[in-house]
């Protein structure tokens, strides 16, 4: 209930030199407490006059703080929602990037395979002509197979007793007869190449068989014909060859 007017009325008394606690105690002890109380109330009024605006401002700032805190909480909720959306989008982005990388890896693998295939095709393109020629040769061999086998079997069955000249004559006669019967055969047929391979011939030569065509033909007849061969061998070359060839097979020789 203290007002500025009351304080203003008290100021002349407060300014007096003897208006203090010590002087009041000398005059009247009961009045001394009242003197001290009036001084304290005036001092309180001065302090409270400065504190009240501060309290009002504090209440105002607390209201503002509460409003700002409410806005902050709302903004934090929105931020949390957006963060959740961002996390979901980030997860989708990570999945998409993994799929993209997998596709890039597949594309790179396909590109390498295409490059390898292209290099292989280019490398094999040079073989196309040779394969085409080989294919034609194989077809001709299939067509001429019956006649070639017929000549080979005739050679094995009937050429044994004769020399090289007569063997060649037999082949010419057989070919003429096959031409009449329209039996296809290879004009450049090599009976030796058809009936035995070079490795076997080389092995025969190491075993003592001469390397001329007649001797090789005789070796073919000995090894391929179904009948037992009779060798007329004045020089003993056939005997040496047979002994060496059959040495590891338990050949028994009667002197």
Higher pLDDT, 169 or 140: 169
State yes or no: pLDDT of 131 exceeds 70.
Answer: yes
Tens of pLDDT, residues 2-22: 888 888 888 888 888 877 777
Tens of pLDDT, residues 203-238: 999 999 999 999 999 999 999 888 888 888 888 888
Task: Identify the pLDDT of residue 230.
Answer: 85
Task: Identify the pLDDT of residue 255.
Answer: 62
Tens of pLDDT, residues 103-126: 999 999 999 999 998 888 877 776
Sign of the dihedral through C-alpha 231, 233, 236, 238: negative
Task: Identify the pLDDT of residue 32.
Answer: 79
Residue among 218, 212, 213 at smallest CA distance from 238: 218
Mean pLDDT, rounded, of the chain: 87
Match 């009041």 to its residue by tokens.
24
Task: Identify the pLDDT of residue 24.
Answer: 79
Overall pTM > 0.85: no
Looking at the structure, give the CATH architecture of the domain made up of residues 142-243.
Answer: Up-down Bundle (1.20)
Q: What is the mean pLDDT of residues 51-76?
A: 90
Query: Which conformational region is residue 53 in: left (phi greater than 0), alpha (psi within -120 to 50 degrees), or beta?
Result: alpha
Per-domain residue ranges of the chain: 142-243
Per-residue confidence band for 96, with pLDDT thresholds at 50, 70 and 90:
very high
């Amino acid at each position: 209930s203290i007002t500025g007017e009351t304080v203003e009325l008290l100021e002349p008394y407060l300014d007096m030199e003897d208006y203090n606690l010590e002087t009041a105690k000398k005059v009247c002890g009961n009045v001394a407490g009242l003197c001290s109380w009036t001084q304290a109330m005036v001092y309180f009024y001065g302090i409270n006059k400065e504190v009240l605006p501060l309290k009002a401002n504090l209440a105002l700032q607390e209201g503002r703080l509460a409003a700002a805190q409410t806005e902050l909480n709302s903004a934090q909720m929105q931020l949390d929602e957006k963060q959740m959306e961002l996390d979901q989008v980030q997860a989708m982005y990570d999945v998409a990037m993994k799929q993209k990388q997998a596709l890039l890896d597949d594309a790179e693998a396909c590109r390498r395979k295409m490059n390898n295939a292209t290099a292989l095709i280019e490398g094999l393109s040079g073989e196309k002509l040779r394969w085409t020629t080989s294919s034609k040769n194989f077809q001709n061999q299939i067509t001429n197979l019956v006649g070639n086998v017929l000549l080979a079997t005739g050679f094995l069955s009937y050429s044994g007793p004769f020399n090289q000249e007569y063997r060649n004559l037999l082949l010419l006669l057989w070919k003429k007869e096959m031409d009449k019967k329209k039996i296809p055969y290879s004009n450049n047929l090599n009976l030796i190449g058809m009936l035995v391979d070079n490795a076997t011939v080389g092995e025969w030569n190491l075993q003592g068989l001469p390397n001329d065509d007649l001797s090789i033909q005789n070796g073919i007849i000995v090894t391929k014909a179904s009948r037992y061969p009779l060798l007329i061998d004045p020089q003993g070359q056939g005997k040496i060859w047979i002994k060496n060839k059959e040495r590891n097979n338990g050949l028994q020789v009667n002197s």
